[in-house]
Amino acid sequence: MFAQPSIHRGIFHSLVVALFFCFLATSLSYSVFDLKALFAWSIGCFILFCYILHLLFDELFRVDFLNTRLKTSFGTTLKIVDFNDARTSMMMAPATLQGVDYE
């Protein structure tokens, strides 16, 4: 039941999802918690920074420094979109753009 949706290095290890959570946190901070715009954007950018930092550290640990080789999972943690699951990526891109305020 959870095998396909919970692939660890799937769509949630992409920059599109990092932006999605940035916009989601900013939007919730501003509209739900009634924070000022600058503070709401600070929260969103903090989420984005930490998310990308997590992806970078995950990618760094795909390198085996003792045997000086790359692990087979190298390159699967930091990507723009998940090309292995194009359907999910095609749904996530518009959801991310929906969070942008065009006013």
- Cα distance between residue 2 and residue 80, in whole Å: 24
Structural domain boundaries, residue 38: 11-94
In tens, the pLDDT along 50-73 reads 999 988 888 877 766 676 666 666
Q: What pTM was estimated for this model as a whole?
A: 0.74
- Cα distance between residue 45 and residue 29, in whole Å: 12
Residue 100 lies in a domain: no
Domain count for the chain: 1
Residue 20 lies in a domain: yes
Residue 73 lies in a domain: yes
In tens, the pLDDT along 6-31 reads 555 677 888 888 999 999 999 999 99
**Res 45: pLDDT:** 96
Residue 6 lies in a domain: no
Residue 88 lies in a domain: yes
The answer to whether residues 92 and 20 touch, using CB atoms and an 8 Å cutoff, is yes
The answer to whether residues 15 and 80 touch, using CB atoms and an 8 Å cutoff, is yes
**Res 65: pLDDT:** 63
**Res 76: pLDDT:** 62
